[in-house]
A and B are shown apart, each in its own frame.
Chain A
Amino acid sequence: MMIARWGLTRILWRQAMPATLVGSLGLWAYCLAWPDVMMARDPWPGLIVLLHCLLLAVLLGRFETPSFAFLYSRGYSRDALWGHVMLASALSVLAALVPAWLIVWTGLRSHLHDLLKSPYFPIMAPREAWVPLIWLGLYVLLVPACHYAWIRRAQPTRGSQGGNLAVVGVLAALLLGFDLVRRLDGWLAWLCGLLYAAVVVCLLLGGRSLHRSLEVRS
């Protein structure tokens, strides 16, 4: 297994800072300010998460800049670099998500809106408690997807188009069908969960594989 290297992680974390800020400020603002009851199908958090993930992929995938040439020429293996990119992304996601979740879970949101004379709070507060979990589920799917897509874009000659279409297809189905999936019970729910996990793992492994042969040119 890869040993996490602090120096490398720190540089990548800082490269990803704009993405972290977008995701953090977006989600925290949403948590604090959204006046209605938060629901899984609200588009705003979804958009913020998507934007955060896209930015992560772009900022951690600028393979034509001198600083990336530097990082990639230190002697780390490609897989180690990929692992650290995923680690930096995970830290970025946690930095955005954990405070947002705390805002909800500690009752800060509820209390704030109660003070603002909102009719929904504190009554509806328990209903919202699991919504950040949905965001986590979105992140876990979109971070690998955006990284994969971004790396794939940089290497149009590699891999087959068919595989990409399949991934995009399943992804779209998962996201769009989420509402439907939520209401499933029993083995169907488990099957969807399995499919979700399989897609995430494929995206991670596929991304890692493409990353191995990525060209670093500046």
Chain B
Amino acid sequence: MSDHAVRTVQLRRDFGAVRALDGLSLDVSKGTILTLLGPNGAGKTTLLRILMGLIEPTGGQVFVLGSPARSQPAGGAGRVAYVGDRCEPPDWATPALLEGVQAGASRTFDRTLFREFCKRRGLSLKRPYGALSKGQRRWVLTSLALACRPELVLLDEPADGLDPAARKALYDALRDHVNECEATAIVTTHVIADIERIADDVAIMMAGRAVLHGPLDDLRENIRQVEMSGGISSPELGDMATLLGSTRQGDMAIAWVKCNGVSDGQLVRRLGPGATVRTVGLETLYLAIAEHQPAALAESGKGLE
């Protein structure tokens, strides 16, 4: 457990009749960047808010940096930093004031680093928050977070509204921080290209659960799209691969599978002539799960590791 920056066990959170998190079990190793992918309402923001101590779970357990998360931020004093959705300072506040507010909370806050971040995007410390563009605001909030040198960084759509150069600068800064301090980051984003660039691990969340979770390189190595006329079923694949989703186009069956270390050649031989095996990008994989997830996978509630 001490290897994990974050650990949730059957985490549940209800908002009245709405179940935002439904038995989420997720382990996040130290020194990695985990990206959360999923539709709106999948529970990503709720998870981050629980980790930050803004709200409490309804059931299950959650551990942040080794200790149980409660209403107090983990360990207090800036070990966990958060850039959230609808979580912004008042319009009249200047970056200079925000720097003071953050420094008061975090013993490890580095003022020089924060000012350097601001200078990089040409942001004055005296200009009120409300006068900044959306992208500049995100940059200020992320700079505040990273300048604390936190052990855990929680970023909810941090690059929203940023142009490609600013996105790159933000993610590069995040990667530098994670590498230098062996920190951990959990990032929520809808932009597949960003995930492909930044993620060490990917977790796809649907309806309050993690449906798929693993290193991105593993997914690249093992996830395949299989096409053949007729049908593809789990028993056919046996223990060679797990069926993630399938669909038909005319008489052609298309399925997405996670191979258990077998090569493409072995898979083709098992499926028979006429089968084509391709590698797929993350977007295709996500769409496959979102649109064509087999019922069995959804019901079992157990994500794929």
Contacts and interface: CB of A to CB of B under 8 A. Distances in A.
Contacts of B104: 5-8, 74, 76
B90 A15 contact: yes
A77 interface: yes
A74 B86 contact: no
A14 B148 contact: no
Contacts of A69: 54, 84, 86-88
Interface string B96-109: 01111111111000
Contact of B89 (A70, A212, A213, A216): A70
A11 B98 CA distance: 9
Residue of A6, A7, A77, A218 ringed by the most chain B CB atoms within 10 A = A7
Interface string A1-42: 000011110110011000000000000000000000000000
A191 to B, nearest CB: 37
Given A5-B104, A67-B88, A213-B71, A72 B97 contact: no
Interface in B53-111: 54-56, 71-73, 76-82, 84, 86-90, 92-93, 97-106
Contact of A78 (B49, B71, B77): B71
Given A217-B55, A218-B87, A11 B93 contact: yes
Interface string B287-305: 0000000000000000000
Residue of A8, A69, A72 ringed by the most chain B CB atoms within 10 A = A69
Contacts of B254: none
- Per DSSP, chain B at the interface is loop
B52 interface: yes
Contacts of A216: 49, 54-55
Contacts of B73: 73, 75-77
A184 interface: no
A11 B71 contact: no
A71 interface: yes
Contact of B54 (A5, A7, A217): A217
Given A11-B93, A67-B89, A73 B71 contact: no
Contacts of A77: 72-73, 76
B82 A73 contact: yes
Interface residues of A, number: 27
Nearest to A3: B104
A72 B170 CA distance: 24
Contact of A75 (B78, B87, B99): B78
A210 B52 CA distance: 18
B89 A11 contact: yes
Contacts of B82: 73
Residue of A69, A75, A78 ringed by the most chain B CB atoms within 10 A = A75
A8 B90 CA distance: 12
A75 B148 contact: yes
A213 B88 CA distance: 21
- Per DSSP, chain A at the interface is helix
B86 A66 contact: yes
Contact of B105 (A75, A215, A217, A218): A75
A214 interface: yes
Interface in B132-180: 148
Given A66-B86, A75-B73, A11 B97 contact: yes
A167 B102 CA distance: 37
Interface string A41-68: 0000000000000000000000000110
A7 B88 contact: no
Given A69-B86, A215-B55, A75 B106 contact: yes
Interface in A161-207: none
Residue of B77, B80, B86 ringed by the most chain A CB atoms within 10 A = B86
A73 B101 contact: no
A6 B103 CA distance: 10
Given A78-B72, A215-B55, A216-B54, A70 B87 contact: yes
Contacts of B54: 69, 72-73, 215-217
A75 B105 CA distance: 5
20 contacts: A7-B98, A7-B100, A7-B101, A7-B102, A7-B104, A10-B100, A14-B92, A66-B86, A67-B89, A69-B54, A69-B87, A70-B89, A73-B52, A74-B101, A75-B80, A78-B72, A213-B71, A215-B55, A216-B55, A217-B49
Interface of A: 5-8, 10-11, 14-15, 66-67, 69-78, 212-218
**Pairs of residues from A and B, 10 with the lowest C-beta to C-beta distance, nearest first:** A7-B100, A5-B104, A7-B101, A69-B87, A75-B105, A75-B78, A74-B105, A216-B54, A218-B86, A73-B82
Given A69-B54, A77-B73, A78-B71, 15 more contacts: A6-B100, A7-B100, A7-B103, A66-B87, A67-B88, A67-B89, A73-B87, A74-B78, A75-B76, A75-B81, A75-B148, A76-B105, A78-B72, A212-B72, A216-B55
